[in-house]
Chain A
Amino acid sequence: MNNGKVRVPLVHISRRSALPWYKAWAIRGIAIVLALIVCGILTTLLTGEDPIQIYISMLDGAFGTSRRIWVLLQNIAILLCVSLALTPAFKMRFWNIGGEGQILAGCLATAACMICLDEVLPNWLLIAVMLVASLLAGGIWGLIPAFFKAKWNTNETLFTLMMNYVAIQLVAFFIIIWESPVGSGNVGIINQQSQAGWLPMIGTNRYMLNVLIVAVITVLMYVYLKYTKHGYEISVVGESERTARYVGIKVERVIMRTMLISGALCGLAGFLLVAGTDHTITTTISDNRGFTAVMVSWLAKFSPIFMVFATFLIVFLDRGASEIASDFGLNEAFGDILTGVILFFIIGCEFFITYQLHFRGRHAKEAAENV
């Protein structure tokens, strides 16, 4: 018999069956620890700073003062709101990357109401009108690509993306109209004197209401996706359109309805931004959240509960990174490098949760003589 060299591959990959949840979380935990170690080494190598100091500075940037904590929470609330908004669409495998545009549509509607209806309506009614207008505006912005997708099967990725630019141009156009003071190129604080249409403070806390509203939406979205007929239809359409048709689900209607909801919630995020925090409108007011939220939604595997943690992580890294930059006089880009490394590990560890590596084992040679 030929006893020539047998090349057993060093490593081969196979798919895991379900992994118990605690093991999956252990893997994720290890990934974060590894990420922090790698970041530490990188920091020392590149800047010569003490990595421990850098981490302390990051924590300080996020939690250092109660104001910082509230800013952190406010940022989490808005990003979470957008992520929740996009989730039903992505769960339906509808690639809604038009979050930016839908947020801007909501912002624009809110700002328009604040500017045009100031002193026309009592404050509570004004806020109610602003809310409805922002939901409608965002909803319509989401519904347009959905309608074309449902009727003529257009590509929603391109369509929603293009709708972003339309929204940006619209906002730019109205900024010129509402310019104040004239020639400044921006709108300035809307209703600075009257504070008409500003969301009320709870106690002395300006951001509390935003946080509470988003907390309620999180719970509602969880229930909507998990326990309602709509949520069930969304999952079926997302997993298999043919099956959905076979059981008599009206796929077109589900697509349009879901995008209406998705867009409306993005519009709500716009409302919270304009009425709750910024009290002005710019073309960059959404700060790319429409795109960041796509990542959050996938990272959390469309679970509203995990989404809370995912947004916390992203916002914390972002706040921490800018703090490092100012504390140590480093370039802003350095914070981004650290954020990138951490995200790489977190997303990369999903591979080890789904797949298993087999290394060259002991059993390879033993039975060779039997033949």
Chain B
Amino acid sequence: MDGKTAAVQMRDITKSFGSVKANDKVWLDIYKGEILALLGENGSGKTTLMNMLSGIYYPDEGQIYVDGREVVIRSPKDAFDLGIGMIHQHFKLVDVLTAAENIILGLPGKGKLDIKSVAAKVREISERYGFEVDPMQKVYDMSVSQKQTVEIVKVLYRGADILILDEPTAVLTPQETDKLFAVLRNMRDDGKAIVIITHKLHEVEELSDRVAILRHGHFVGDMPTKKTNAGEMTNMMVGRPVVLNIDRPEPKNPQRRLEVKHLTVQDEDGVTKLDDVSFVAYSGEILGVAGISGSGQKELLESIAGLHRAEGGSIIYVDPETGAEEELIGKDPRDISDMGVALSFVPEDRLGMGLVGDMDLSDNMMLRSFRRGRGFFTDRKSPHKLAERVVEELDVNTPSIETPVRRLSGGNVQKVLVGREISSAPTVLLTAYAVRGLDINSSYTIYELINKQKARGVAVVYVGEDLDVLLELCDRILVLCGGKVSGLIPGRGATKRRVGLMMTKLGGGTEDE
């Protein structure tokens, strides 16, 4: 292919987990001086494939060639020795150490640690590619994007020529994403081979030179990014045509349903997480909450659901039938959920809150309903039916209802969680990161579900990471910045740039900044 040299060639790679073939005879070429976007739905085997390249899994069959030489990668160390470095979604940094200390952690060296020369080398790498990193800064003082930068520099410091980034933009603001892309382009121009795994097609179009697509563990094809478009990529991923539109009907008959007044919340260490937050959520509308991760989104939802103690302020719930107002602060979480306030929070590890990994689908459905059983005993029949319904309606890919949810792929786990919350027919639906890490097809299923709830007259509070979606889906957007309300703007007509600025600076500063 036009004079490019292959950095990595993967041939006939097969990897099974029990009876499931995660990868089936996959061929993949990664070229030097090129950014490859690896696409596929959830559970299509992207991460498995890359994990085999970075030494986390060992393939059952197939060969890997690096620079034309067949290699065996048994451990992450083998991968490093071959110049392959992977930047995972979850950062692996020691908080109390500085950037430079984290970067040399685990590297062999002489008896005495010469942190100055390390710092110098880190600066040299940073200048070369345009990173902004202070080698002497402690990790706990860093923002998410700075931590990511340290991870990337760490990999480069170890001499990686092949970089794999697993959903690098999931936690970044648009401005930070732009910076990251600039750096990646510099690295590409320097001759590095870069693979990024992402679900955001507009990023693929913006950044990558070539796309490779996996579907159900099979390699479907690859092509230059210029010669394709979002529609075609989606069709290849899903295997059939998909319409990429999010509906946003006008709210019907909005009524005041939830009013948060001057809410102030602290975490266990006494750090203020929410500072004088006020807003109203109406029935039949979707209120988006935007903000850099850790700006108080979690505390906001948990306070409403009664799971987090509020220091001050009030949360008023208006009963849809009687119009009676009730104060939620100080109420038991169980009573709040009985009133019709449902919370589905998808944490980073997807399982930690709301689902029990080792239990099967039916038992997980029971988490919400088990108290309704007669007397002392649980009712197992209705959760089982509910599980069957959710599996059918949301097209959950599972061997059976009796499969522990831990065995399902991330997207399917989320469908189970969101499906259960929606099934409780709530009047207020609080949902956070509902599509975290989900592929296009599943994401749209979830958006549809949320829109259906909106049409039912539910007040939806949607905390999301993807600004494009927030802008398309939400009727109004509440922007949080450091625990304060930076602004509350209509979703129609809002621009990504405006919201991005409001996320980083209270009020968003001046428009023409």
B-chain residues with CB within 8 Å of residue A229 when the two chains form the complex: 370-371, 373, 376-378
Task: Write the A16-39 contact mask toward B (1 if CB under 8 angstroms, else 0).
Answer: 111000000000000000000000
* B19 within 8 Å of A (CB atoms): yes
Task: Write the B31-45 contact mask toward A (1 if CB under 8 angstroms, else 0).
Answer: 000000000000000
Q: Are A246 and B356 in contact (CB under 8 A)?
A: no
**In the complex, residue of chain A having the shortest beta-carbon distance to the beta carbon of B20:** A17
Q: Are B357 and A248 in contact (CB under 8 A)?
A: no
A-chain residues with CB within 8 Å of residue B371 when the two chains form the complex: 229
The minimal Cβ–Cβ distance linking A57 to chain B, given in whole angstroms, is: 43
The minimal Cβ–Cβ distance linking A166 to chain B, given in whole angstroms, is: 32
A-chain residues with CB within 8 Å of residue B19 when the two chains form the complex: 17
Most buried by A among B332, B345, B353, B368: B353
Q: Are A236 and B18 in contact (CB under 8 A)?
A: no
* B124 within 8 Å of A (CB atoms): no
Task: Knowing A229-B373, A245-B307, A248-B334, say if A240 contacts B357 (CB, 8 Å).
Answer: yes
Q: Are A4 and B69 in contact (CB under 8 A)?
A: yes
B190-233 contacts to A (CB < 8 Å): none
The minimal Cβ–Cβ distance linking A157 to chain B, given in whole angstroms, is: 22
In the complex the two chains form, what is the Cα distance from A370 to B376 in whole Å? Answer: 66
Q: Are A368 and B63 in contact (CB under 8 A)?
A: yes
* A152 within 8 Å of B (CB atoms): no
Interface size class on chain B is 35 or more
In the complex the two chains form, what is the Cα distance from A9 to B55 in whole Å? Answer: 13
- Could you say which of A6, A232, A361, A371 contacts B370, with CB atoms under 8 Å apart? A232
B60-88 contacts to A (CB < 8 Å): 60-63, 65, 68-72, 74
* B367 within 8 Å of A (CB atoms): yes
A-chain residues with CB within 8 Å of residue B378 when the two chains form the complex: 227-229, 231-232
B-chain residues with CB within 8 Å of residue A246 when the two chains form the complex: 307, 333, 343, 345, 353-354
In the complex the two chains form, what is the Cα distance from A259 to B214 in whole Å? Answer: 50
- Could you say which of B63, B65, B333, B352 contacts A248, with CB atoms under 8 Å apart? B333
B-chain residues with CB within 8 Å of residue A65 when the two chains form the complex: none
**In the complex, residue of chain B having the shortest beta-carbon distance to the beta carbon of A248:** B334
In the complex the two chains form, what is the Cα distance from A128 to B357 in whole Å? Answer: 43
The minimal Cβ–Cβ distance linking A20 to chain B, given in whole angstroms, is: 11
Task: Knowing A232-B370, A370-B11, say if A8 contacts B356 (CB, 8 Å).
Answer: no
Interface size class on chain A is 35 or more
A217-232 contacts to B (CB < 8 Å): 227-232
Task: Knowing A2-B69, A14-B17, A232-B366, say if A9 contacts B58 (CB, 8 Å).
Answer: yes
In the complex the two chains form, what is the Cα distance from A236 to B333 in whole Å? Answer: 16
* A46 within 8 Å of B (CB atoms): no
Q: Are A240 and B345 in contact (CB under 8 A)?
A: no
In the complex the two chains form, what is the Cα distance from A248 to B352 in whole Å? Answer: 15
**In the complex, residue of chain B having the shortest beta-carbon distance to the beta carbon of A8:** B72
B351-386 contacts to A (CB < 8 Å): 351-359, 363, 366-368, 370-371, 373, 376-378, 380
* B337 within 8 Å of A (CB atoms): yes
B-chain residues with CB within 8 Å of residue A363 when the two chains form the complex: 61
A-chain residues with CB within 8 Å of residue B62 when the two chains form the complex: 367
Q: Are A17 and B17 in contact (CB under 8 A)?
A: yes
In the complex the two chains form, what is the Cα distance from A15 to B15 in whole Å? Answer: 12
**In the complex, residue of chain B having the shortest beta-carbon distance to the beta carbon of A240:** B356
B-chain residues with CB within 8 Å of residue A240 when the two chains form the complex: 351-353, 355-357
* A68 within 8 Å of B (CB atoms): no
Q: Are B307 and A243 in contact (CB under 8 A)?
A: no
In the complex the two chains form, what is the Cα distance from A77 to B319 in whole Å? Answer: 56
**In the complex, residue of chain A having the shortest beta-carbon distance to the beta carbon of B344:** A246
Task: Write the B285-310 contact mask toward A (1 if CB under 8 angstroms, else 0).
Answer: 00000000000000000000001000
Where the two chains meet, the residues of B that have a C-beta atom closer than 8 Å to any C-beta of A are: 9, 11-12, 17-20, 57-58, 60-63, 65, 68-72, 74, 307, 332-334, 337, 343, 345, 351-359, 363, 366-368, 370-371, 373, 376-378, 380, 407
**A–B complex contacts, Cβ < 8 Å, 18 sampled:** A2-B68, A4-B69, A9-B72, A15-B18, A18-B18, A229-B377, A239-B358, A239-B359, A242-B352, A242-B353, A246-B333, A246-B343, A247-B354, A247-B368, A248-B333, A358-B60, A371-B9, A371-B63
Where the two chains meet, the residues of A that have a C-beta atom closer than 8 Å to any C-beta of B are: 1-2, 4, 6-9, 12, 14-18, 227-233, 235-236, 239-240, 242-243, 245-248, 358, 361, 363, 367-368, 370-371
Query: Top 4 nearest A-B pairs by Cβ distance?
Result: A17-B18, A248-B334, A248-B333, A239-B356
